[in-house]
Amino acid sequence: MKLLHASLCLISLLLVLPSIFAASSSKDFDFFYFVQQWPGSYCDTQKSCCYPTSGKPAADFGIHGLWPNYKDGTYPSNCDASKPFDSSTISDLISSMKQSWPTLACPSGSGEAFWEHEWEKHGTCSEAVIDQHEYFQTSLNLKKKTNLLGALTKAGINPDGNSYSLESIRGSIKASTGFTPWIECNRDGSGNSQLYQVYLCVNRSASGLIECPVFPRGKCGAEIEFPSF
């Protein structure tokens, strides 16, 4: 009987171990991409652009997300279905979220659908390091710290519809933050390359910026437009 009991316990353990290792693996990652989006490019190149119920966002870079990533360029996603987005956990951040993390996708609503998507797809994969409140608070802090628009305008790069060299955009952000950004571009209806998103890398503990171990794929033209909003 004891031998049978031990065998059953071993079988149960073997059945459970794969799910344990899978959960652990899915939540493991090497660093974060902190991604900020220029609203002028989004609204100029998307088929539909809607302002949130709070009104037109400020002409500033908005947060897109804080994305756990691997050094090989792949990323985990939707890691923990048992931890859905709960707006009550960030009730003290809502006002700042509406300003710094607005949604322009239609229908935009209050913005909570966007935040829910970002937490459940990306945030749940970083729970070993930061909880839901810390995930959003950290993102808000990073936006304030990096101040992309300030870095660009200080260098004479303004959202005025003119084109600027990719190197000058990248260089001004690096000069301000101390770290090399990756620039993502969109193309408008005329085929112009536009400044769309800026990626900076954050260490695994989410405590500070680092040089990116790997950049996403894709490239911009040598000259890119900085559209107004």
| Active site positions, annotated | 64, 118, 122
Residue 27 near residue 127 (C-beta atoms within 8 A): yes
Cα torsion 150, 151, 153, 157 to 10°: value is -150
d(CA 155, CA 202): 24
d(CA 62, CA 100): 5
The two three-digit tokens of residue 118, written as one number? 């970002």
Residue 216 near residue 155 (C-beta atoms within 8 A): no
The two three-digit tokens of residue 203, written as one number? 């260490």
From the list 209, 169, 202, 201, the residue with the least C-alpha distance to 185 is 169
| E-assigned strand segments in 14-84 | 31-37, 62-69
Cα torsion 61, 101, 33, 77 to 10°: value is -150
